[in-house]
Amino acid sequence: MKSERIILFGNPVLRQVSSPVVSFHKRLHDLLDSMRATLSSGEGGAGLAAPQISVLTRVVVLCNDDDYLELVNPEIIGTRGETVGPEGCLSLPGYFGTVRRAEEVTVKFFNRLGEEDVVTRTGLMGRGIQHEIDHLDGVLFIDRMEEEFVFKNKGKSKQSVKELLDLTRGKVLKNLKEVRQD
């Protein structure tokens, strides 16, 4: 299966709410396979939501040490604790910031065959689940940041979160090309 092009910050698709999957068929399987291929293509991400490849459907793929988790129509049904840590995003390459998340997350979802399941995760996988479900609702990690600056280039420079957020709200479109090149 071929990997897909990841759309970048500033693309309005990333701000839209995704529709639920209603049919568990070959097209869904192909989408999941393509998302896996994209995630494992060497971009360095731990998760990918369908909107990041311009598909507005509620599908997420996560990977931790070659352990893939496919979530169709995921819904967080429980959380416990709180943790603050760094996050980045394949749609905003090179940028990272500090985000507060639940320490443990329980999510209900369907697998590719339409079978319902529930899992509880902590650590990187728990953070990734929350991050990717946010994508399905048009929310980006910079919307949840603790600080007023997002860092780029491994912390060598920083940019105002407000300035980045203004990009997707149409206020600073002249800088969009610069952000996409980072």
Contact (Cβ atoms closer than 8 angstroms) between residue 104 and residue 79: yes
Q: And the tokens for 44?
A: 């360095």
Taking alpha carbons only, the member of 102, 79, 93, 114 closest to residue 182 is: 93
> How far is 47 from 40, CA to CA, in rounded Å?
10
Report how far residue 33's alpha carbon sits from residue 48's, in angstroms, rounded to the nearest whole number: 12
User: 3-state DSSP call for residue 113?
Assistant: coil
Q: CA 52 to CA 48: how far, in whole Å?
A: 7
Dist CA 163 CA 143 (whole Å): 12
Kindly list the catalytic residues: 132
